[in-house]
Amino acid sequence: MAERLQAGHVPFLLSVALLCPMTASALHARRRGRWFAARPAGWFALAVSVGAHAAWLGGIVLLAVALLPRPGRRDLVRTAVMVGSAGCVYAYAAAVVATAILTVRVGDEDLEVYATYPGTSGLAVAVGTLRGFWRGASDSSPEIALGLVPGAILVTAAVAGLIRLCRRDAATGAPLAAVTVVGLLLGAGIHGPLGAAYRVAFDTLPLFHAMREQQKWVALTMIGYSVGVGVTTEAVISGCRAGRPRVLRAVAGTTVLVLGGMIATTGASLLWGLGGSVRVSHYPQSWYAADRLMGAGDESVLFLPWHQYQPFDFTAGRSVATPAAAFFRRAVLSSDAAELGPVRTNSSSHRMAYLDRLIAAGGGGRFGHLIAPLGVRYVALSRGRESESYAWLAEQADLEPVLRTASLDLYRVTVTGTGRVVSARNGDFAELLGWAARGRLGSEAVISGAGGGTVPSAASGGLRRIGSTRWRVAAGEAGWVVLPEEWSAGWTAGDQVTRRTVAGTVAVHAGSGAFTVRYAPWKWLRLGLAASLVSLLALLTGGLVEHRWEVYAGFRRRLAGSGHRGAGGGS
């Protein structure tokens, strides 16, 4: 799983780490036989809050603990209540579904793109040794150089430990062994023995799209392996004690050396930045200069090249998620297209689709006019191997170069297209490009099935952001107002009509008075988020109280026991 760390999947790994105490507390709850246990529910809720994949992974663990071996009614009820109470941390998701907020699109092609990578040794070996990360041969993890020997030792020790645990403590060993096997089978994904069932689940089960990357199921196997290797290590150390038969001590001592060598070999690759493959990258000075020139403001910056993941000179050519939004103070529009095989993008954003087509068309002749409705004030181009394909930026009459360096170019958009643009015209994307190329496009809103006013329009402005989900429109000439926000029917301005522009932004047909435009679903999202937070805090508090009561009860039992012994000794 070192590949996950190298790829920056820290939330996923943290959520898996939280599933470990959840598993221990769930096993403890089953031994005590209570109808409800707050601690496993709290750990589960916390893991889900960190990473959504933990909902499925943790659910499988809790189900295994409840069913194996020989479930009772209390086990089933307790597990159902724990899952249900932990699921309350997803209260905000109900608001998302109820208000039809746009989310990513996931289809069958995603299953192929994110399929578990078999490697050169085959799918079974890759999954069994906790490999199979979908990035495949492009991955540069130091784990690639370890070979099969450490993997074979790992699997052998884990299997031996789980078998020993099942014989000595079936209540613990059986669910962990089952979880390990389930992780292997589901981790093999659509090309494994459960491939057909995986596709059916992907198409039918609610929220199963979260597991489009099938190798993530191997996290369950990782938990089982950890326990199995620990049990084996305890057993062989016990075999080394004095008084054991000489042959047994020799075998145990050799096994200790083998296990120690395996752990030292794999552990060493995690040190010093995963063997030197993870290093600190420093932003170029040109980025700092560009940020100083742009400053802060409501208007955004469009970042090019237009890719979600791309290499930079300051990352030594290694592809990373485009970091502009994390660096610049202004809001940044950058591509959200994954560009993986047949899956170009999972985005449902109208603005992203508009920019995809616009950039593919080489700016359309008047790039500034075409991106002005998006609220873009600056265009930043990171120079590199694709710089020449964006040479058309320098030819745009409505872009003013304000910074040119060897690593970054910055342009200012000299026109505006938001606020009270007053006029509108009926058109589509092709007509929009035509008007721009002929110099007949102004600030007017281009809306399919609407029109009115003088075109091209030269009006704009009178717009001010007053919150993350609110805009204030000043009084002015009646007509159309364009907001630089992703179109959604949730944007409301009283009884005034709202429409989607061709650019994917929000247009309001308004009177001359001042008014406020709000994103109505936000109030329900806030309630959902508050409910999620309260649910999480309640479970964590309940788990803490439960733990303190158990400690207190244990202390009283010990105190009572010592009292009885003292009374017996006195008599």
For 223, 274, 277, 315, the CA distances from 143, given in Å and listed in that order, are 19, 9, 11, 21
- Across 80-89, 141-150, 340-349, least confident range: 141-150
What's the token pair of residue 338? 């994954």
**pLDDT at position 251, please?**
86
The model's confidence at residue 563, banded by pLDDT at 50, 70 and 90, is low
Q: Is the confidence at residue 569, as pLDDT, over 80?
A: no
Q: Are residues 359 and 471 in the same domain?
A: no
Residues 6+ apart with CB under 8 A from 502: 354, 427, 428, 429, 432, 446, 447, 448
498 CB neighbour count, 10 Å cutoff: 19
DSSP 26: H
Final residue belonging to a domain, choices 364, 393, 413: 413
The model's confidence at residue 570, banded by pLDDT at 50, 70 and 90, is very low
Residues 6+ apart with CB under 8 A from 225: 130, 154, 155, 158, 180
* pLDDT, average across residues 64-76: 94
Instruction: Give the model confidence (pLDDT) of 464-488 as tens digits.
Output: 999 989 999 999 999 999 999 999 9
- Residue in this structure with the two tokens 């906790």, named with its chain if needed: 130
Final residue belonging to a domain, choices 361, 380, 413: 413
Count Cα neighbours of 457 within 13 Å in the Cβ-side half-sphere.
Answer: 28
**pLDDT at position 566, please?**
61
Instruction: Give the model confidence (pLDDT) of 290-328 as tens digits.
Output: 999 999 999 999 999 999 999 999 988 888 899 999 999
Instruction: Give the model confidence (pLDDT) of 105-120 as tens digits.
Output: 888 888 999 999 998 8
Burial class (CB in 10 A: 0-12, 13-18, 19+), 110: buried
Q: Are residues 232 and 147 in the same domain?
A: yes
- Residue in this structure with the two tokens 């074979």, named with its chain if needed: 152
What's the token pair of residue 4? 């996950």
Q: Are residues 453 and 365 in the same domain?
A: no
Q: Are residues 255 and 124 in the same domain?
A: yes
**Which is it for strands 300-304 and 332-333: parallel, antiparallel or unpaired?**
parallel
Q: Are residues 442 and 356 in the same domain?
A: no
Q: For 507, phi and psi rounded to 5 degrees?
A: -120, 135
Final residue belonging to a domain, choices 357, 384, 413: 413
Range of the domain at 341: 285-413
Query: SS3 for 104?
Result: coil
Cβ atoms of residues 21 and 43 within 8 Å:
yes
What is the chain's mean pLDDT, rounded? 90
The distance in angstroms from the start CA to the end CA of the chain is 62
The model's confidence at residue 560, banded by pLDDT at 50, 70 and 90, is confident
The model's confidence at residue 140, banded by pLDDT at 50, 70 and 90, is very low
Provide, rounded to the nearest whole percent, the portion of the chain with pLDDT above 70: 95
What's the token pair of residue 550? 């158990």
**pLDDT at position 239, please?**
86
Instruction: Give the model confidence (pLDDT) of 424-448 as tens digits.
Output: 999 999 999 999 999 999 999 999 9
Q: Are residues 155 and 296 in the same domain?
A: no
Distance, in Å, from the CA atom of 367 to the CA atom of 363, rounded to the nearest integer, reads 5
**pLDDT at position 316, please?**
85
The model's confidence at residue 392, banded by pLDDT at 50, 70 and 90, is very high
- Going by C-alpha positions, the residue among 437, 430, 305, 455 that lies closest to residue 369 is 437
Distance, in Å, from the CA atom of 202 to the CA atom of 111, rounded to the nearest integer, reads 9
DSSP 340: B
Q: Are residues 118 and 139 in the same domain?
A: yes
**pLDDT at position 136, please?**
62
Instruction: Give the model confidence (pLDDT) of 187-237 as tens digits.
Output: 999 999 999 999 999 999 988 999 999 999 999 999 999 999 999 999 999
**pLDDT at position 262, please?**
83
Tell which wins on pLDDT, 217 or 94.
217
Q: Are residues 275 and 386 in the same domain?
A: no
- Going by C-alpha positions, the residue among 526, 527, 522, 494 that lies closest to residue 508 is 494
- Going by C-alpha positions, the residue among 229, 249, 246 that lies closest to residue 237 is 249
Q: What is the domain count for the chain?
A: 4
Q: Are residues 146 and 264 in the same domain?
A: yes
**pLDDT at position 15, please?**
95
The model's confidence at residue 64, banded by pLDDT at 50, 70 and 90, is very high
- Residue in this structure with the two tokens 């209390």, named with its chain if needed: 74
Q: Are residues 128 and 260 in the same domain?
A: yes
**pLDDT at position 571, please?**
38
148 CB neighbour count, 10 Å cutoff: 12
* pLDDT, average across residues 485-494: 93
Instruction: Indicate if the alpha-carbon torsion angle 197, 203, 208, 210 is positive or negative.
Output: positive
Task: Enumerate the β-bridge partners of residue 379.
Answer: 302, 411
- Residue in this structure with the two tokens 């031994």, named with its chain if needed: 31
For 94, 95, 136, 183, 377, the CA distances from 525, given in Å and listed in that order, are 9, 6, 38, 34, 30
Instruction: Give the model confidence (pLDDT) of 7-56 as tens digits.
Output: 778 899 999 999 999 999 999 999 999 899 999 999 999 999 999 999 99
Q: Are residues 441 and 343 in the same domain?
A: no
* pLDDT, average across residues 167-195: 96
The model's confidence at residue 518, banded by pLDDT at 50, 70 and 90, is very high
Q: Are residues 407 and 445 in the same domain?
A: no
Distance, in Å, from the CA atom of 150 to the CA atom of 154, rounded to the nearest integer, reads 6
